[in-house]
Amino acid sequence: MSPEELDRTDPEGAIKATTDRVRNWGRWGEDDVLGTMNFLTDELRRAAATLVRTGASYSLSLPFDMDGPQKGWRRRTNPVHTMLDTGTDAVAGIQGFPHGLGGADDVIAMPLQCSTQWDGLGHIFDRGHAWNGRPADQVVTSLGDGVTGIETVADVISGRGVLLDVGRAVGEDGELPDGFAITEEHLRATIEAQGPSSAVGTGDIVLVRTGQLTRARRGVAAGEGWGEYAGGPAPGLSFTTADWLHDTEIAAIATDTWGFEVRPNEFDVAFQPLHQVAIPNIGLFLGEMWDLDALAEASAEDGRYDFFLTAGPLRVTGAVGSPVNPIAVR
| Contact by Cβ (8 Å): 33, 147 | yes
Cut 0.95: pTM above it: yes
- pLDDT given at position 233: 98
Flag whether pLDDT at 129 surpasses 80.
yes
What would the CATH number be for the domain defined by 3-75+112-329?
Answer: 3.50.30.50
pLDDT digits (tens, 9 = 90+) for 218-263: 999 999 999 999 999 999 999 999 999 999 999 999 999 999 999 9
Q: Where are the domains of the chain?
A: 3-75+112-329, 79-110
**Torsion-angle region of 227 (φ positive above 0: left; ψ -120 to 50: alpha; else: beta):** left
pLDDT digits (tens, 9 = 90+) for 199-223: 999 999 999 999 999 999 999 999 9
pLDDT digits (tens, 9 = 90+) for 92-127: 999 999 999 999 999 999 999 999 999 999 999 999
Q: Which of 235, 207, 28 is nearest to 116 (CA)?
A: 207
- What pairs with residue 307 in β-bridges? 161
Flag whether pLDDT at 48 surpasses 90.
yes
- What are the φ/ψ torsions at residue 196 (nearest 5 degrees)? -60, -30
Q: Please report, rounded to a whole number, the percentage of residues in the chain having pLDDT higher than 70.
A: 100
- pLDDT given at position 46: 98
| Contact by Cβ (8 Å): 258, 233 | no
Flag whether pLDDT at 1 surpasses 90.
no
In which band, very low, low, confident or very high, does the pLDDT at 2 lie, cut at 50, 70 and 90? confident
Handedness of CA 82, 87, 92, 95 (dihedral sign): positive
Tally Cβ neighbours within 10 Å of residue 187: 24
Buried b / exposed e along 11-35 (16+ C-beta atoms within 10 A)? beebbeebbeebbbbeebeeebbbb
- pLDDT given at position 4: 81
Residue at 225: amino acid letter = G
Average pLDDT of every residue of the chain: 97
N- to C-terminal Cα separation, the chain:
35
Helices first, then strands: H and E counts in the chain:
9, 15
DSSP code per residue over 69-83: S---GGG----EEEE
Flag whether pLDDT at 323 surpasses 90.
yes
Rounded mean pLDDT, 295-321: 98
Distance, CA of 162 to CA of 199 (rounded, Å): 8
- pLDDT given at position 149: 98
pLDDT digits (tens, 9 = 90+) for 80-92: 999 999 999 999 9
- pLDDT given at position 5: 84
